[in-house]
Amino acid sequence: MASAFSGLEVDLCGLRLKNPVLTASGTFGYGLEFEELVDLNRLGGIVVKGLSLQPAAGNPPPRIAETASGMLNAIGLENIGIEAFIRDKLPRLSRYDTPVFVNTYAKTIGEYAELAARIDTVEQIAGIEVNISCPNVKAGGVAFGVDPEAAGKVVQKVRMSTQKPLIVKLSPNAPDIVSVARRVEDSGADAVSLINTITGMAVDINTRRPRLANVTGGLSGPAIKPVALRMVWQVAAAVKIPVVGIGGIMSAEDVLEFMIAGASAVEIGTANFVNPRVSMEIIDGLVRYLEENRLESIRDIVGTLEA
Ligand SMILES: Cc1cc2nc3c(=O)[nH]c(=O)nc-3n(C[C@H](O)[C@H](O)[C@H](O)COP(=O)(O)O)c2cc1C
């Protein structure tokens, strides 16, 4: 079994992961939706759908539109709320031997801190991924993620509220993502993950209306991979904390590109909608790559780009 192969092990924020393949927030539900399709025990980690203090209904439909080599979404962070997650989903999810990261979303710095403090009390949650990069909500989210100053303030408060490993998810919509990454590192983040979606839109030429009720949405999928890769490379060169690469990953080869560019781990997003078993196929592909190249550990390729 590929999952028993120790060559894929990586360290992330003091946690030893079986492999560098995590599932990205919002594309893998609360994990349990994929139980029948994927061996959840084989994943490096699961990042669950963004959770807020209170349940949220999200934006009105239509909220998804297909685009060339990608998709636009404006879900607007619909979720069941942190308490329902802890009560109804986590007991079953934590039976798997796979770290669960909770992605958090809030409208104010105080709420981000409150969420972190609540999560801090729950042993079965391995870590927090703070989403300061959602482009599809009116308040909070990306407003914090595009400004280094604001991002730093969120992370400082969250850091004071929890001992858990803290990953901060960055926005490609920031004018200078490297400055945000540096500030977030200085404010106490244990890792950064990038990228979230890139703001885009689509038009229906017959109705002359936007294809999303929200007008704009977040672009994801293979279309954004080159942008994500470039940003991961830039950020990895600028910070000492680990970088988690996200954006358009469809195959083991894509994962390797991100790791060579400097990512210590990756998250698989939109690809889960195309092929729900893609994470398993990617893990198998990584094992094959190590074997074919006679490499002992995948860690040896991180940041080896010769540029
Ligand atoms: C339908 C959908 C919902 C998403 N929901 C969240 C979310 O709740 N929190 C978050 O941080 N990112 C969310 N994302 C962003 C993804 O986690 C990921 O960063 C992005 O889609 C880029 O990766 P990909 O190209 O592999 O999909 C969502 C993406 C999609 C497509």
Strand 166-169 with 191-194, pairing: parallel
Which is the CATH superfamily of the domain at 2-59+76-198+219-301? Aldolase class I (3.20.20.70)
Q: How far is CA 192 from CA 40, 118, 207, 239, 281, in A?
A: 23, 21, 41, 9, 25
In the chain, the percentage of residues whose pLDDT exceeds 90 is 94
Question: Would you please indicate which residues are annotated as catalytic (active-site) residues?
Answer: 134
pLDDT at residue 109 is higher than 50: yes
Q: Where do the domains of the chain lie?
A: 2-59+76-198+219-301
pLDDT at residue 50 is higher than 70: yes
Q: Express each pLDDT in 131-170 by its tens digit.
A: 998 776 666 667 899 999 999 999 999 999 999 999 999 9
Q: Take atom 6 of ligand 1 and give the residue whose Cα is closest.
A: 26
Ligand 1 pocket test, candidate residues 21, 66, 270, most atoms within 8 A of CB = 270
pLDDT at residue 122 is higher than 80: yes
pLDDT the model gives residue 138: 65
Q: Take atom 18 of ligand 1 and give the residue whose Cα is closest.
A: 196
Contact between 71 and 198 under an 8 Å Cβ cutoff? The reply is: no
Ligand 1 pocket test, candidate residues 27, 71, 249, 250, most atoms within 8 A of CB = 27
pLDDT the model gives residue 3: 46
Sequence-ordered alpha helix ranges (H) in the chain: 82-84, 90-93, 109-120, 142-145, 148-161, 177-186, 225-238, 252-261, 271-274, 278-292
Q: Take atom 19 of ligand 1 and give the residue whose Cα is closest.
A: 196
What does the pLDDT average to over 274-287? 98
Separation of 26 CA from ligand 1 center, angstroms? 5
Model confidence band, residue 85 (pLDDT cutoffs 50, 70, 90): very high
